[in-house]
Amino acid sequence: MKNIIKLTFASVAWLTLSTACSEGYIDDISSMSQGEDKAAPVITINSPTAGTTTIPFTDTTSDFKFDYKVSDDIEIASIEILVDGAVQKSYNNFLDYRTFSEIYTKNIGLGSHTFTVNAKDLSGKTSTKSVTFTIDNKYTALYGEKAYFPFFAGNIFTELLSGTNPTVIGSPTTVSGGKSGAAYKGAIDSYLQIPFNNNLYSNENGISFTFWYNVDATQDRAGIITLGDESITNNDDSRKKGLRLFREGASKTVKLNLGIGSGESWNDGFNIGSTTGWIHIAVTISKSESKIYMNGVLQRTATYSTPFDFSNCSKLSIGSGAPTFTYWDHKYDLSQIDELRIYDKALDETEVKATMQ
């Protein structure tokens, strides 16, 4: 009986399907013409770009990422990629026959290199695109730049232009996730200190600092960059010389205090507020005014009638108010700092924006 029921149900189902097909409930499958192949493949190379890519001075090779895309109006037939004339990979079978993209990694050394992509479509049309670039581990200073701290992984704090290492106080580190590679990460009672002299600034043209900053909001206040005369023990008098870049309050206000000999100048800067992640800070100091920028935009200008006074200020601290500006609790900074540069001139707005690249 069960076999008879199964047979009857199968027959009815077949008849219903046949009727549905004949009445057009299921569309007939028909092939569509691809159309005329009018254009050659289009090649886009996202990386590298022409110019120089600088790697850490401690490295002589780099795991370089080659990022490219090929598209065609009808169908891609084959692709090959070359580095310095040598074929690295080739393809002739594609899941998406009109678009192909890839990020290819290869370890390459210092010097000039050329990345080439060749592509062909089914009709035989070909395209070629090349980018020539240079890998270098030497840094070229710009805009009167006198010091550059890129902060490399492995707790490397080396100043790149001179190749010298700062004095390390406490236990700061470098951590991954910086604005560019690794970044300085502050720790309790920790900071860096470098000798300060007229190689880093100009009495006529001033001084500037630019850097990327990722604030640690657990601190109510902290010193960021400090220059002072350690022989002065009176706090009020100590602020008549040097400079103090710091932050304070729940709004995380970044401020500058500048010694001008007979007194002090205050630039009340800007509030970081609820902003998270990396921001770019620039501080420019001339004989008559200081300016503070955030992300390339001028936030505040302070003017003064007498020039800045850096006399007898021999040490610059990075990541703390110590040793000369801790009396208002602007001590170590737990935040991250990256790509710190010092210039012997007051940068203008165009130059500030250029340092963000």
Could you tell me the residue ranges of all domains in the chain?
42-136, 145-354
Using the predicted structure, report yes or no on whether residue 58 has a pLDDT greater than 80: no
Percent of the chain at pLDDT exceeding 90: 79
pLDDT tens, residue by residue, 137-156 = 887 888 999 999 999 989 99
Percent of the chain at pLDDT exceeding 70: 90
Spatial strand order in the sheet of 243-248: 167-169, 191-195, 315-318, 221-228, 243-248, 253-259, 264-271
pLDDT tens, residue by residue, 98-113 = 999 999 999 999 999 9
Cα 215 from chain centre:
16
Q: State mean pLDDT over 234-259.
A: 96
Rounded distance, CA 88 to CA 104, Å?
9
Using the predicted structure, report yes or no on whether residue 9 has a pLDDT greater than 50: no
Rounded distance, CA 93 to CA 79, Å?
9
> pLDDT value at position 4?
39
Q: State mean pLDDT over 331-336.
A: 98
pLDDT tens, residue by residue, 152-194 = 989 999 998 998 999 999 999 999 999 988 999 999 999 999 9
pLDDT band for 307, please (50, 70, 90 cuts): very high
* CATH architecture of the region 42-136: Sandwich (2.60)
Which among 179, 45, 44 is positioned nearest to 113, based on CA atoms?
45
191: which 2 tokens? 């900071």
Using the predicted structure, report yes or no on whether residue 38 has a pLDDT greater than 90: no
pLDDT band for 56, please (50, 70, 90 cuts): confident
Using the predicted structure, report yes or no on whether residue 227 has a pLDDT greater than 90: yes
Tell me what the pLDDT averaged over the chain comes to.
90
Using the predicted structure, report yes or no on whether residue 21 has a pLDDT greater than 80: no
Which among 357, 340, 342, 314 is positioned nearest to 172, based on CA atoms?
340
- Residue 146 · residue 200 · CB < 8 Å: yes
pLDDT band for 24, please (50, 70, 90 cuts): very low
Give the range among 115-119, 250-254, 288-292 with minimum mean pLDDT.
250-254
> pLDDT value at position 41?
97
3-state percent helix, strand, coil for the chain, nearest multiple of 5: 10, 45, 45
Using the predicted structure, report yes or no on whether residue 10 has a pLDDT greater than 70: no
pLDDT tens, residue by residue, 254-304 = 999 999 999 999 999 999 998 999 999 999 999 999 999 999 999 999 999
DSSP codes joined into one string, 9-73: HHHHHHHHHHHHHHTTSSPPP---------SPPEEEEEES-SEEEE--TT-SEEEEEEEEEEE-S
Per residue in 162-196, is it b (16+ CB within 10 Å) or e — as a string? eeeebeebeebbbbeebbebbbbbbeeebbbbbeb
> pLDDT value at position 34?
62
Using the predicted structure, report yes or no on whether residue 50 has a pLDDT greater than 70: yes
Which among 267, 245, 220 is positioned nearest to 340, based on CA atoms?
245
pLDDT tens, residue by residue, 74-88 = 999 999 999 999 999
Per residue in 58-90, is it b (16+ CB within 10 Å) or e — as a string? eeeebebebebebbbbbebbbbbbbbeeeeeee
Is this prediction's pTM over 0.85? no
> pLDDT value at position 33?
52
3-state secondary structure of 89: strand
- Residue 282 · residue 347 · CB < 8 Å: yes
> pLDDT value at position 296?
98
Look at 332 and 58; give whichever has higher pLDDT: 332
Cα 171 from chain centre:
25
Spell out the CATH class of 145-354: mainly beta
